Amino acid sequence: MSYAKIHLDVPLNGPFDYRTNGLSVVKGSLVEVPFRNKKQVGIVIDVSENTNVETRRIKGISSIIDVAPLSSDYITLCRFVSEYYCFELGRCLFVGLPRSIRMNRLGKEYLENVYSLTVSGRLEIAGTLDARARGKRRLYEHLLSNEQTVLADARRIYSNASKQLTNWIQSGWVKTEQRNLREFMKVDRAISVTPKKLGLTESQIRSVDSISLDLNGAHVWVLQGVTGSGKTEVYFELMERALQSKKQVLMLVPEINLTPQLKDRLQRRFPSERIVTLNSGLGDSNRLIAWEQARHGVASIILGTRLAVFTPLKQLGLIIVDEEHDTSYKQIEGVRYHARDLAVYLSQLKNIPVVLGSATPSLETYHNVLRERYKRAVLSDRPLGSLPTIELIRVSRSESHTLSPQVIHAMQSKIDDGEQVLVFINRRGYAPALFCSSCQWSVSCHRCSALLTLHKRPDHVRCHHCGYQGRVPSRCSQCGNQDLHDLGHGTQRLEEEVAAQFGHARVIRVDSDSTRRKGSFEAMRQSIDQTQVDIIIGTQMLSKGHDFSNINLVVILGADQALYSGDFRATERQFQQMLQVSGRAGRGSSRGQVLLQTEFPDHPIYQHLIGHSYDDFAIDALKERELSDFPPYSYQAILRASSPSSNSVENFLNRARLCALDLKSEAIDVYDAVPAPIHKIAGLIRGQLLVQSTLRKPLRIFLKRWMKEISNLNESGVRFVLDVDPIDV
C-alpha cells in the first residue's frame, strides 16, 4: 500500500496522509481529496510505503487533477517561504496557484467559450459608441486589448456584457468560438520581425557590460539609475541575452497599472517572444492560461506584480525587479512575503542573476551594496534632457495643502506655453476631517479609531480604513451645533480649487476613487499622454514609473506630513516618493521644474532632495538607523493580534510576551505589547508586539519555536499573525 503525504490550503500543519488508491501520483501532483466532509485540492509532496497514522483512519485520494505536477523548485521555494515567514507550508504552496486550480474548476476538457473582435468590429464599433455608453466602451476596449475574452471577465467589466456581445455578434463585429486550454501549451514562436532598438548611452553600455559578465550564476545587481535614465533599456539588453540562450525572464513591477504599457514596449522590442502578464487583474481563465504557458516554457517573458514571483519557471535565467524599493512588493495579508526578497532567494536557488532597479533603492538594498553583498551599476544622467530643478517654497502649516501664489503663477505660465502640470497630493477625498466649530469634536468612524473623510459628488463621509460610507452629519453629535467645518485638503477639493483658479484649463484627477473601474486608469493615462488635459491632480498612483513626455512642472503639496510620522521608515518613503514624483517632470525636450511647498525648507531631507542626492540621503538615513539599531542593522518581526475585545488582545499579547521571554536567547529583544497605530479598525481592537535581533539566525530559530507555543495559547476570539520583516511598525 502506498501513501501520499499531502498539503492542503488550511491553517494546519500538514502534511496529511492519504491512500494513493493505485493512482499514479508523484511529488508535486495536484489531487482532490476528502477533508472534513468536503472535497479539497491537495498537493502531494511525498509518496511513501509507510505511515504513522492508524491505517483504518486513512482516506483515499479521490482523483488526480489533470495538470502537470508542480516542480521541485517550486516546492523548495514554498518551503523557504513557510520557514522564513512562519506560515503553514500548505498555505504557502497555494498562494501562487491560479484560482481555477485552487478551486479545481478546470472543467473536464478545458473547453470554454471565448469572444474576440472581428476585423470589422475593430474598425466599426468605436463609431457607434456615444459618450454616455461608458460600460460598452470599457467592454470594447477590453476586447481590443485582449485577444480573447471569456464571459465571466466580460461581465466583470460591464454587467450587461452578455446581451451586448450577442448584439455585436449579430452585427458581425464579435465572433465567438470554443477554446481549448491544451492548445495554448503548444509553442508558437511568432514570425521574426526586426525590433526597433535605441542606441545606448555610454553609461547604459557600461551597466549592460558589467551585469552581463554575471549572467551565469547567483548574483544580485542593483541598477541605480535616476528617473528617466533609461533603466528599462538596460533591462531589455540583459533580457535579450538571456532569451538568446533560450532562458525565460521574470520581470516584476510594483503596480498592475504599469503592466499594459510595459507589455507593449516589451512586445515591440521582442516581437517573436511570447509575453504573458500575471497579476490580480486577470480573469481566472486568462490567468490559468498565462500561468500554464509560463510553466511550460511557452511564454519566455513573464511580467507580473508581486504574486508572479511564485510562478514555477523551468528555464528561468534572469529576474528583474523594477522599482525594487516599492512597498507594494510586500504582501500585507495572508502569507506576508516580500516579493523582492523572494526574488533574491530564487536567484540563489536557480543560480541565476537578479537585477534590482530603482532611482531610490530601499535602505535595506542600499546597505547590502555598501557591505558589498550586492553589486551596483549606476546611471546618473538622462539620455534625453536633464533632471528637473527642485525648488522649495516656504509656506505656513495651514497653507501647506493649498496652492501658494508662487505656484499658481508658475502653473499659469506652463499652461500658457501648452505644457502640462502635475499636482501631487497624497490624500484622496475632499477634506480629511470634519469638525465642530464650537466644541472641537471631529467626526470619526464608529467602527475605527480614525476620522472620517469628506467626499463630494455625491456628498458623503467615508472611512479610509474599513470602507464605511455614510451621510454627512448635519449637526455635532456632542453639542448639537449645526456648524460643522471641513478641514484640510484632499484631491477633490484641490480639483475644485484648481478648476476655479484656472478657468480654461482641462483638469483631471487620478486617484484610487477616480480609477476604480477597470480600464479607467489606462484611459486617463492615454488622455495625459495625448495632451488632452492640462492639469493632472494625482496621488502616489502617478508617481511610479510612468513616462509622460509633456509634464514640465510638478507641484508637491502636503509633503511635511511624513516628518511627523512615528514610523522610522516614513522619511525614507517620503524621500523616495518625492524623488519619484519629481521624476515625472521634464521627460520631454525642455527642462522640468518641481515646486515643493514646505514649512521646513531647511530640513536636511529637503536639502538632499533639491540636490537630487539620493546617496547622501541614504547614507545619512542609514547612520540614524544604525544608531537606533533599526533595520537594516537589525531584523524585526511583529506579532499582530486583533479581537472585538481589547482585554483579549491585551491578554493574548501579554501571554505571548511571557512565552517569548521564556524562550528567547540573549540575542533577542522582546518589547512591550502596544496598541497598533490605528487602534481599532472595523470594530476590531488591534495590538502588536515587536521582537528584534541584530542576528538573523537566532531570530529565525526563536520565531519558529515561539509560533509553535503561541498556537497553543487559545485566547478565545483573538486572531493573530506574525509579520516577519514588517514594513509598518
Contacts of 622 (CB under 8 A, 6+ apart): 363, 366, 367, 370, 632
Other C-beta atoms closer than 10 Å to the C-beta of 375 total 17
Least CB distance to Zn ion at residue 680 (A) = 8
Angle at the Cα of 207 from the Cα atoms of 202 and 209, rounded to 5 degrees? 95
- Return the closest-CA partner of residue 73 out of 441, 345, 305, 355: 345
Strand order in the sheet with 275-278: 275-278, 301-304, 248-252, 316-321, 354-358, 220-225, 375-379
**Among Zn ion, ligand ADP, none, what does residue 26 contact (CB within 5–8 Å per kind)?**
none
Would you state the cell numbers that stand for residue 277, as one nine-digit string? 502578464
Residue 479 binds which entry of Zn ion, ligand ADP, none, CB below 5-8 Å type-dependent = Zn ion
Residue 198 within binding range of ligand ADP, rule CB under 6 A: yes
Site string for Zn ion, 395-414 (x = CB under 5 A): --------------------
**∠ CA 535-536-539, rounded to 5°:** 150
Q: Which is nearer to ligand ADP, 200 or 505 (CB)?
A: 200
C-alpha cell, 206 = 557600461
* Site membership for ligand ADP, residue 586 (CB under 6 A): no
Does 468 engage in binding with Zn ion (CB under 5 A)? yes
Q: Decide if residue 479 touches Zn ion (CB under 5 A).
A: yes
Q: Of these partners, Zn ion, ligand ADP, none, which one is at the site of residue 370 (CB under 5 to 8 Å by kind)? A: none
Q: Least separation, in Å, of the C-beta of 540 and ligand ADP?
A: 16
Is residue 447 within the footprint of Zn ion (CB under 5 A)?
yes
Nearest approach in angstroms of CB 219 to ligand ADP is: 21
Name the nearest CA neighbour of 425 among 281, 310, 294, 581: 581
If the CB atoms of residues 82 and 203 are measured against ligand ADP, the closer one turns out to be: 203
100-108, 458-466, 533-541, 683-691 -> range binding Zn ion (CB under 5 A): 458-466
Which residue lies nearer to ligand ADP by CB, 14 or 228?
Answer: 228
Q: Which of 512, 117, 533, 259 is nearest to 520 (CA)?
A: 512
Q: Is 658 exposed, middle or buried (0-12, 13-18, 19+ CB in 10 A)?
A: exposed
Q: Cα–Cα distance between 185 and 420 in angstroms, integer? A: 46
The conformation of residue 380, written as its DSSP 8-state character, comes to -
Closest CA to 506 of 492, 527, 491, 523: 527
- Distance of alpha carbon 25 from alpha carbon 47, whole angstroms: 8
The yes or no reply on residue 227 touching ligand ADP (CB under 6 A) is yes
Find how far residue 675's CA is from the centre of its chain.
27
* Span interacting with ligand ADP, options 92-100, 162-170, 196-204, 470-478, rule CB under 6 A: 196-204
Q: Does 506 bind Zn ion (CB under 5 A)?
A: no
* Residue with Cβ nearer ligand ADP (10 or 200): 200
Q: Which does 700 bind (CB under 5 to 8 A by kind): Zn ion, ligand ADP, none?
A: none
Number of residues that bind ligand ADP (CB under 6 A): 16
550 binds ligand ADP (CB under 6 A): no
- Specify the residue, 28 or 473, whose C-beta has the smaller distance to Zn ion: 473
- The residue (of 141 and 233) whose beta carbon lies closer to ligand ADP is 233
Q: Which of residues 373-402 bind ligand ADP (CB under 6 A)?
A: 383-384
Position among 436, 541, 684, 718 found at the interface with Zn ion (CB under 5 A): 436
Q: Cis peptide leading into 632, omega within 30 of 0?
A: yes
How do beta strands 460-462 and 453-455 pair? antiparallel
Nearest distance in Å: CB 230, ligand ADP? 3
Residue with Cβ nearer ligand ADP (248 or 580): 580
User: Which stretches of the chain bind Zn ion, using CB under 5 A?
Assistant: 436, 438-439, 441, 445, 447-448, 463, 465-466, 468, 476, 478-479, 481
User: Which stretches of the chain bind ligand ADP, using CB under 6 A?
Assistant: 198-201, 204, 225, 227-233, 383-384, 547
